[in-house]
């Protein structure tokens, strides 16, 4: 008998997506300020380590990421056995969802936060539940606690947050860690930690060994400049680490990513330099945009969120794209009036600031 049925996917073909097409004008140079990448590259030692490992690329990577985990443990002062490497931190957000949530469960996350949180929920058939923030996008701990039901399995919190750029002070994270029921996994996504210089900021690493349910995710994609090679990691307690280790793909961190990570971690002065340059550029851009009368969310990251109501965000996106500058609108986040711009180097920032000034005064 002829079988005409087609495969039936458990996950819908169309949910949310982070991939967008933007019309770009005919220009000599495209400046990509849409993806929150670093504009400062990596030190030469990183490419050297990658090229060196390429010479024996017929050999598998170390599936246990032993050296990489030791290097992370040394730099961050944590137990390497409680670290899991990832193919970027996004993979690790996904591993947590696959481990702890199923069809019918609920996954909480604050409103206007990283799009991957609902996406990983959809992937496992769980229901993503966005919790309303306070004014100014700040995290509402009480609202989060009130949103917990018997179906809640995971809470994701990005700190600092994407796309708003704001951070949640440690006093609020303290309260959350303390009061969240301990059978719910609390994932603190600290992808932008390196850029945050607020004195009362914490990435949450200090909670990991004290609580049974805390997972901190970190990435080499941002300040370390390794977005394209895919390297991230998790620090959590031994029990969760063992479970995550079983769930992750074997060989999930490829050999080049491991070599690059080990080399990049030795370059802490480089990372400090990136932090400083980013801060200087962030202050400059904030000041200039303020002078232009544009409302910018107070950010602790390498990107800015501009409030441009009445279609202004989309218009500015098009204006910049026609001139080769790629930025990101945020309708998929429910933030139609906002444009997100990643900070570039001084020259690129001067260019986009000049274009915005033209746009405003045209
Ligand atoms: C809040 C947040 N978390 C995690 C990531 C994922 O980073 P990666 O998978 O490159 O480590 C991003 C990337 O933009 C992000 O904005």
Residue 194 per-residue DSSP state: G
User: Are 190 and 163 contacting, i.e. CB atoms less than 8 angstroms apart?
Assistant: no
Rounded to the nearest angstrom, the distance between the alpha carbon of 358 and the centre of ligand 1 is 32
88 lines ligand 1 (CB under 6 A): yes
pLDDT for residue 5: 82
Pairing of strands 106-110, 152-158: parallel
Using DSSP's 3-state secondary structure scheme, residue 328 falls into strand
User: Are 80 and 298 contacting, i.e. CB atoms less than 8 angstroms apart?
Assistant: no
318 falls within a domain: yes
7 falls within a domain: no
110 lines ligand 1 (CB under 6 A): no
pLDDT for residue 20: 64
pLDDT for residue 10: 72
* CA-based nearest residue to 203, from 288, 62, 289, 300: 300
Range of the domain at 303: 31-42+269-361
Rounded to the nearest angstrom, the distance between the alpha carbon of 205 and the centre of ligand 1 is 17
Rounded to the nearest angstrom, the distance between the alpha carbon of 91 and the centre of ligand 1 is 10
Note whether 53 and 149 are same-domain residues: yes
Q: Say how many domains are in the chain.
A: 2
The Cα 203–Cα 193 span in angstroms is 6
Substitution site in 32, 88, 219 for ligand 1 pocket (most atoms within 8 Å of beta carbon): 219
Atom of ligand 1 nearest to the CA of 89: 11
Using CA atoms, how far residue 283 sits from 144, 254, 288, 354, in Å, is 32, 37, 9, 16
Residue with CA at minimum distance from ligand 1 atom 16: 162
36 lines ligand 1 (CB under 6 A): yes
Note whether 104 and 208 are same-domain residues: yes
13 falls within a domain: no
Half-sphere exposure for 316 (CA within 13 Å, toward CB): 30
- Residue 98's domain is classified under what CATH number? 3.40.640.10
pTM as predicted = 0.96
324 lines ligand 1 (CB under 6 A): no
Note whether 112 and 207 are same-domain residues: yes
Note whether 246 and 299 are same-domain residues: no
Task: Quickly list DSSP for 87-100.
Answer: SSHHHHHHHHHHHH
Note whether 255 and 290 are same-domain residues: no
For 127, list phi and psi in degrees, rounded to 5: -95, 120
Degrees, nearest 5: CA angle 329-271-211: 80
Note whether 240 and 157 are same-domain residues: yes
Using CA atoms, how far residue 215 sits from 93, 203, 207, 209, 239, in Å, is 10, 11, 9, 10, 11
The Cα 234–Cα 258 span in angstroms is 14
Half-sphere exposure for 318 (CA within 13 Å, toward CB): 4
Rounded to the nearest angstrom, the distance between the alpha carbon of 191 and the centre of ligand 1 is 6
Phi-psi region of 111 (alpha: psi -120 to 50; beta: other; left: phi over 0): beta
Domain boundary among 217, 241, 266: 266
Half-sphere exposure for 140 (CA within 13 Å, toward CB): 17
The Cα 122–Cα 117 span in angstroms is 9
23 falls within a domain: no
Note whether 284 and 207 are same-domain residues: no
1 falls within a domain: no
Note whether 140 and 277 are same-domain residues: no
Note whether 260 and 286 are same-domain residues: no
Note whether 240 and 98 are same-domain residues: yes
5 falls within a domain: no
Note whether 237 and 106 are same-domain residues: yes
Number of DSSP helices (H) and strands (E) in the chain, helices first: 11, 13
34 lines ligand 1 (CB under 6 A): no
219 lines ligand 1 (CB under 6 A): yes
Low-confidence stretches of the chain (pLDDT < 70) are 1-3, 12-21
Note whether 335 and 245 are same-domain residues: no
Rounded to the nearest angstrom, the distance between the alpha carbon of 89 and the centre of ligand 1 is 6
Q: Which residues contact 106 (CB under 8 A, 6 or more apart)?
A: 126, 127, 128, 129, 149, 151, 152, 153
Domain boundary among 241, 266, 291: 266
43 lines ligand 1 (CB under 6 A): no
87 falls within a domain: yes
- Residue 305's domain is classified under what CATH number? 3.90.1150.10
Alpha-carbon torsion 47, 53, 58, 59, what sign? negative
pLDDT for residue 28: 86
Substitution site in 33, 88, 90 for ligand 1 pocket (most atoms within 8 Å of beta carbon): 90
Substitution site in 35, 85, 89 for ligand 1 pocket (most atoms within 8 Å of beta carbon): 89
For 146, list phi and psi in degrees, rounded to 5: -70, -20
24 falls within a domain: no
Pairing of strands 303-307, 295-296: antiparallel
Q: Which residues contact 240 (CB under 8 A, 6 or more apart)?
A: 185, 213, 215
Domain boundary among 234, 266, 298: 266
Rounded to the nearest angstrom, the distance between the alpha carbon of 90 and the centre of ligand 1 is 6
Half-sphere exposure for 29 (CA within 13 Å, toward CB): 6
Q: In what order do the strands lie in the sheet with 214-219?
A: 83-86, 232-236, 214-219, 185-189, 152-158, 106-110, 127-131
Rounded to the nearest angstrom, the distance between the alpha carbon of 226 and the centre of ligand 1 is 12
Substitution site in 162, 194, 264 for ligand 1 pocket (most atoms within 8 Å of beta carbon): 162
């Amino acid at each position: 008998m002829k079988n005409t049925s087609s495969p039936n996917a458990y996950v819908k073909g169309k949910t949310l997506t982070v991939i967008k097409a933007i019309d770009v004008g005919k220009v000599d140079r495209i400046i990509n300020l849409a993806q929150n990448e670093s504009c400062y590259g990596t030190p030469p030692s990183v490419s050297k380590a990658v090229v060196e490992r390429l010479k024996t690329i017929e050999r598998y990577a170390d599936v246990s990421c032993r050296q990489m985990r030791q290097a992370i443990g040394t730099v961050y002062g944590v137990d390497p056995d409680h670290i899991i490497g990832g193919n970027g931190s996004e993979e690790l957000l996904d591993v947590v969802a696959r481990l702890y949530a199923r069809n019918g469960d609920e996954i909480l996350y604050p409103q206007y936060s990283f799009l991957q949180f609902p996406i990983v929920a959809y992937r496992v058939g769980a229901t993503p539940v966005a919790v309303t923030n306070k004014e100014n996008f700040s995290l509402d701990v009480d609202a989060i606690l009130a949103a917990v039901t018997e179906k809640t399995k995971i809470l994701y919190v990005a700190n600092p947050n994407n796309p708003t750029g704001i951070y949640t002070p440690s006093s609020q994270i303290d309260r959350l860690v303390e009061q969240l029921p301990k059978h719910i996994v609390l994932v603190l996504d600290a992808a932008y930690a390196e850029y945050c210089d607020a004195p009362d900021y914490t990435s949450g690493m200090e909670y990991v060994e004290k609580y049974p349910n805390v997972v901190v995710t970190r990435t080499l994609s941002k300040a370390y400049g390794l977005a394209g090679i895919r390297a991230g990691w998790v620090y959590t307690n031994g029990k969760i680490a063992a479970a995550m280790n079983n769930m992750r793909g074997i060989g999930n961190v490829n050999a080049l990513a491991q070599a690059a990570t080990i080399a990049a971690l030795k370059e802490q002065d480089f990372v400090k330099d990136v932090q400083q340059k980013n801060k200087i550029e962030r202050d400059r851009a904030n000041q200039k945009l303020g002078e232009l009368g544009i409302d910018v969310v107070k950010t602790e990251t390498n990107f800015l969120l501009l409030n441009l109501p009445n279609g202004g965000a989309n218009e500015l996106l098009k204006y910049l794209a026609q001139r080769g500058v790629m930025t990101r609108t945020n309708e998929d986040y429910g933030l139609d009036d906002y444009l997100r711009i990643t900070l570039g180097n001084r020259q690129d920032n001067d260019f986009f600031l000049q274009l915005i000034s033209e746009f405003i005064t045209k």
